[in-house]
Amino acid sequence: MKKIVFATNNKHKLEEAQQILGNEFKILSLADINCHEELPETSDTLEGNAYQKAEYVWSHYFRDEKIPVFADDTGLEVEALGGEPGVLSARYAAIDGDPQQSHDSEANMKKLLRKLDGEDNRTARFRTVISLVIDASDTTTEIPLYMEKRWEFEGIVNGQIIRERRGTTGFGYDPIFQPDGYEQTFAELGADIKNQISHRARAMQKLAEFLKDKNL
């Protein structure tokens, strides 16, 4: 079985990834590789953050092993707000607000609904970027040449921000996001449907196709 590292400890993400990548791959979490530190995530783009995390794990843990590493980052991009909250989605309410409200979904949704008050354009999308880093080092030379190859995979789901929360499943902004083609929010659709059509699933499917195509 081929090994691949997913730079996360989020159980749901790990299960979803395993389902999509299939039995050919053994997915290792951060805990599995004994990485217990906070990964850097200081970029102002999803692409930057995903790469920062994958690159950090590759360079600190796998320089001498050819185990591919990938990491993801997701944002909710609202058209009328110029793409906000985007890369700030997790800590939206904490910006210019109470730092305690970082990762507070209720506070994040409240802020977003307030910002969209009176706004008719409710178009939004979830966007996930996965960054894959693979070792391409040449250690046959006298001074080892450490190199990496990197790829990016994007998954998007378009939809609308509704005016009031609906539904109880899922997490984050799920109760106020209604994907195009559905009458229900992500929080009403439930995990089975959401996991088939979600931004993250779409990015993950692209990663899976790539790994199979390249026989990695």
Closer CB to ligand IMP, 137 or 205, in the complex: 205
76-115 mask for ligand IMP (x: CB under 6 A)?
x------------xx------------x----x-------
Q: Per rule CB under 6 A, is residue 179 in the interface with ligand IMP?
A: no
Closest CA to 87 of 129, 133, 38, 53: 129
Q: Per rule CB under 6 A, is residue 155 in the interface with ligand IMP?
A: no
- Contacting residue, 51, 172, 189, 207, with ligand IMP by CB under 6 A: 172
Mark whether 73 is an active-site residue. Answer: yes
The dihedrals phi and psi of 56, each to the nearest 5 degrees, come to -60, -45
How far is it, in rounded angstroms, from Cα 17 to Cα 194? 14
Distance spanning both ends of the chain, measured CA to CA: 11
How far is it, in rounded angstroms, from Cα 157 to Cα 98? 30
Active-site choice (73, 104, 135, 174): 73
Residue 185 neighbours by CB distance under 10 Å: 25
Closer CB to ligand IMP, 28 or 90, in the complex: 90
39: DSSP letter: P
Closer CB to ligand IMP, 89 or 131, in the complex: 89
- Contacting residue, 6, 17, 51, 73, with ligand IMP by CB under 6 A: 73
Q: Per rule CB under 6 A, is residue 17 in the interface with ligand IMP?
A: no
Q: Per rule CB under 6 A, is residue 52 in the interface with ligand IMP?
A: no
Q: Per rule CB under 6 A, is residue 51 in the interface with ligand IMP?
A: no
3-state SS string for 71-117: EEEEEEEEHHHCCEEECCHHHHHHCCCCHHHCCCHHHHHHHHHHHCC
Closer CB to ligand IMP, 55 or 135, in the complex: 55
Q: What is the dihedral of CA 197, 201, 205, 207, to 10 degrees?
A: 150
- Contacting residue, 52, 54, 74, 94, with ligand IMP by CB under 6 A: 74
Q: Which residues are catalytic?
A: 73
Q: Can you give the binding site for ligand IMP, defined by CB under 6 A?
A: 73-76, 89-90, 103, 108, 126, 170-174, 186, 198
